[in-house]
A and B are shown apart, each in its own frame.
Chain A
Amino acid sequence: MLSLLIVPLLLTGGFELGGRVGVLFPASGLETNHGDAALFGVDFGYRTGPNVFTLEYRYSGLHAKEASPYRLDINEPAIGYGRDFSLGRAGATSDWGLEGSVAAGFGLLSRTLGSARETGAAPSGHLDVGVFQRQGHSRLSLTLDNIVFSESQSAGSSRTVSLTYLIALKGGVAYVF
C-alpha cells in the first residue's frame, strides 16, 4: 500500500535544496535573561505539486542580555510537511502565494557559562506560515515560525510539563531541481 503512495510521488515530484536565515525571539520566560539571536538553517525537500516534504536542520545561539559568557545553543533536526497556496501566476514557471508547514523536530540543547556546560534534548513542534515567490528554479520565502519545545518530568505522584515557546522570523532561498 505504501509503495502505491510513494511511486506516484516519485514520478510526479522534484527535489529542492535551500537555506534560511532569520531571527529567533525567545518567549514564555526565556526572554527574561536571553536576548534575540540569529538563526541559520538548511532544508532538503521533495516537492510534488503544491506539497513538499522536508528534512531540515536549524541552529541558533541565544546569548545573555547582560555582558556574560552565558549562551544557550539549540541545534535542531526536523522533518516537515508543507503546502503552497498559489495566489498569482506569471507564465508557466513563475508564481507567488502563501505557504504553510508543520514540522516535528528534536532540539539538542546546550547551556554554557565559561567552561561549564550542561546538555539536554527536547522534542519540538513547528507551525510555519508565510509568503513565497517562485521563478524558474529559484524560490524565495519569508515565514513566521512558531516553535514549541516540550519537556516533562515526574515529581512524586504528579508530572511536571514545561512548554517553551519561541518565534522565528525567517527568510529562505531554495533551488528547485
Chain B
Amino acid sequence: MSSDAPGRTGRVALAAAVALIVLAGCNDMTLLRAKSDYFPLISGSRWTYDVAGNAAVDSVAGDSAIDDRACIVVLRDYSPEYWTKAATEARKLTRLTVIREGQEYTIEERYGLVYELPFVLGATWSESFCDTVVLMGTDTVKLNDSLAGRVAAIDSVATPAGTFIQCYRVDTYRDIKTVEPSDTTDSLLVYSEWLAPGVGLVKRVTGTETRVLTAYEPGS
C-alpha cells in the first residue's frame, strides 16, 4: 500500500495539473500580442479595402533607398509611400511642397514617426517638426508638422475578410500648420486605425470615411 501510494498520488497530481491547464481558459492573449507583428511589411503582401463601395489596394512592392536610407516601398492605391521599420518604431517619408509662380518647392522632407513599437495598450508617442523655409529669396514659410499617436484599445474587428481578434486601435492626430506673411493654414487630420496581429491594417476611420479590409494576401 505505502509503496504504491506515491505513484498514485503522482498520477492524481498530474491529472490535476492537466485539468488546471485545460480549465483555466484565460483569453487575455497577452503572449499572442507580444509575439505578433502588427505592421508586417513583407514584400508581396497585398491588402484590398472597401472604401465607400470602391475597392482600394495596398501592396508592398519591395525595398528601395531614399536619401541614402534604406526603405520599403508600399503602394497605397498604387501611389508609392516609403517606410522604414525597426523593432521600436515605424516611419514614413513625409514630403510637403508649396507652389510659387508655377514652381514646386519642398518645405519638408523627412522620415516622420508614425508608430512607436511594440504596441502596448495606453502607450503614447509624439513628434514635432518645425522649420522656416525661405522661398524665392524673400518669401518666408514657417512650418510646424506635429503628430501624436495613442494605443487606445484592444478590439475584435469584423470585416468582409473575416473577424480579427486582438487588434490594437491606434488613434492618430496630425496637425500641419504653415505661416506665411500673407496666409496661415492649419490642417488637422484625426483618424483611428485597427491593426491585426500578423495582418496589419484591417480598418481605418477618418472623419466620415471608413476603409475596411475585404481581402488579404500575405507576402513571402
Q: Which residues of A contact B (CB under 8 A)?
A: 4-6, 8-9, 12, 28-30, 32-34, 48-51, 53, 64-68, 70, 72, 79-81, 83, 102-104, 106, 109, 111-125, 149-153, 155-156, 160, 162, 164
A30 to B37, CA, bound (A): 10
B20 touches A123 (CB 8 A): yes
A123 touches B21 (CB 8 A): yes
Q: Which residue in B21, B87, B158 is a CB contact (below 8 Å) of A104?
A: B21
Measured as residues with beta carbon below 8 angstroms from the partner, the interface class of chain B is: 35 or more
A5 touches B120 (CB 8 A): no
A155 to B87, CA, bound (A): 28
Q: Which residues of B contact A (CB under 8 A)?
A: 1-2, 5-10, 13-14, 16-18, 20-21, 24-37, 86-88, 116, 118, 120-124, 151, 154, 156, 158, 162-166
Chain B residues lying within 8 Å of A149, measured Cβ to Cβ, are 31
B26 touches A121 (CB 8 A): yes
Q: Which residue in A4, A28, A156 is a CB contact (below 8 Å) of B1?
A: A4
Query: How many A-B contacts at CB < 8 Å in the complex?
Result: 155
- Shortest CB-to-CB span from B6 to chain A, Å, is 4
Chain B residues lying within 8 Å of A48, measured Cβ to Cβ, are 6
A116 touches B26 (CB 8 A): no
B35 touches A122 (CB 8 A): no
B14 touches A151 (CB 8 A): no
B17 touches A79 (CB 8 A): yes
Instruction: Identify the closest chain A residue to B17 (Cβ).
Output: A104
Q: Which residue in A9, A53, A117 is a CB contact (below 8 Å) of B120?
A: A117
Q: List 29 A–B pairs whose Cβ atoms lie within 8 Å, in order of A's numbering.
A: A6-B9, A28-B35, A30-B35, A32-B37, A34-B34, A50-B6, A66-B88, A68-B88, A72-B34, A79-B16, A104-B18, A109-B31, A111-B30, A112-B120, A116-B122, A117-B120, A118-B120, A120-B30, A122-B26, A123-B20, A123-B21, A149-B31, A151-B27, A151-B32, A155-B164, A160-B165, A162-B29, A164-B31, A164-B32
B32 touches A102 (CB 8 A): no
